[in-house]
Amino acid sequence: MTAGPPEATPPAHRGPLSGLLVADFSRILAGPYATMLLADLGAEVVKVEGPGGDDTRTWQPPVRDGVATYYLGANRNKRSIALDLKDPADLELARELARRADVFVENFKPGGLERFGLDYDSVAAGNAGVIYASISGFGSAPGGRSLPGYDLIVQAISGFMSLTGEPDGEPYRAGVALFDIMAGLHATIGVLSALNHRHETGRGQHVEVNLLASALSGLANQTSAFVAGGVVPFRMGNSHPSLYPYAPMMCSDGELIITAGNDAQFRKLCGVLGVPELADDPRFARTEDRNHHRDELRPLLLERLRTRTKMEWFRDIIGAGVPCGPINTIDQGVAFAEEVGLDPVVTVGEGSAAVPTVRNPITFSATPPEYRLPPPTLDEHGDELRRWLAAPADEEASA
């Protein structure tokens, strides 16, 4: 592990990745999300930004105190330095950071860092143990390396949008940059795996993740339907191709998602709804039967559900052990997480600099995530980081 910048880590800090130095040359979402997860777990993350800053600083509204909430959502626990890689002095600082880093994360277009001597081969030549993670849209092979990779484009190209929307309607994107987040998670898994390999062998390596591969992997049963079964999935609105009921269903005041994932759950659902005979009806007794006869089953379920409110049914159906839930807005979703004890919001920083953020979803019994720094302003830590990088590494290590 490499000694981090001075005063970077409080003495009591005990995160599972404490002592790791991450050079974060990424921007927008996939890379910053991955490095924020590493930072939450104790790594020291130095966020390197161009003079104009991370693009998402300008992606607004919405804002908090004039700062885009998009940026705030993926950049806590980091320290920012603004470096112009076209400036020789700044480029040397960037190279020095790369020489000291345990992990280097970037999402430039493949080959984009070669002219700065910050590509994997160049960095590894001076830092053999570095874990160098590259995130791209379509990989580094000749056919994809020149293609720009935005999440929406990958949602379209992967086939995801062909599955999203009403059967007779137009394709829709997801309401979040789904594959940016998924690629960020895959990059984090890759980095941690490579760190374990380095622990065993002393050798670093190049980890590559791309949005399209993450999308095809994340489409799971839908891509499997094609590659294993020769079936091209299609839009079914909110219906599931293999389960029923597994969809929103209208109650007296709104919709409730009901998911009877097996025959036993369906029998319990029928009991709660007061129609136990449906579980013995040969049209509905088995999962396969319910799929084939969903048009006959649906009105029978809706007839009962419309007699009460969604929250009345929610309490009773959940109480019977059948998964279900109301369709909430984001604020209601956060409130529900609070109700069930997840404490979803953590405030990072103090006073006017305090920023509410969404809690890291991982819990540890011994080394919990920590929330040390609010998302940094552009070059907020530039002076101290420049002094640290300008000092000889051996001198810094002995300080």
Q: What is the pLDDT of residues 379-388, one digit of tens each?
A: 999 999 999 9
Residue 88: pLDDT band (50, 70, 90) is very high
Q: Give me the CATH number covering residue 94.
A: 3.40.50.10540
Cα 51 from chain centroid (whole Å): 26
- The reply to whether 201 and 295 lie within a common domain is no
> What is the per-residue pLDDT for 253?
93
Position 9 pLDDT exceeds 70: no
309 secondary structure, DSSP code = -
Residue type, 240: H
- The reply to whether 89 and 164 lie within a common domain is yes
> Which tokens belong to 69?
């909430």
- The reply to whether 393 and 322 lie within a common domain is no
- The reply to whether 159 and 297 lie within a common domain is no
Percentage of the residues of the chain whose pLDDT score is greater than 90: 90
Residue 12: pLDDT band (50, 70, 90) is low
Residue at 285 is within a domain? yes
Residues 370, 373, 379, 380, CA torsion sign? negative
Residue at 383 is within a domain? yes
**Rounded mean pLDDT of 218-245?**
94
Position 332 pLDDT exceeds 60: yes
What's the longest Cα–Cα distance across the chain?
79
Which residues form the domain of 48?
A: 21-219+343-398
Residues with catalytic roles: 180
What are the backbone dihedrals phi and psi of residue 148, each rounded to the nearest 5 degrees, phi first?
A: -70, 140
Peptide bond into 376 cis (omega under 30): no
**Rounded mean pLDDT of 190-219?**
98
**Rounded mean pLDDT of 204-223?**
97
> What is the per-residue pLDDT for 399?
34
> What is the per-residue pLDDT for 303?
97
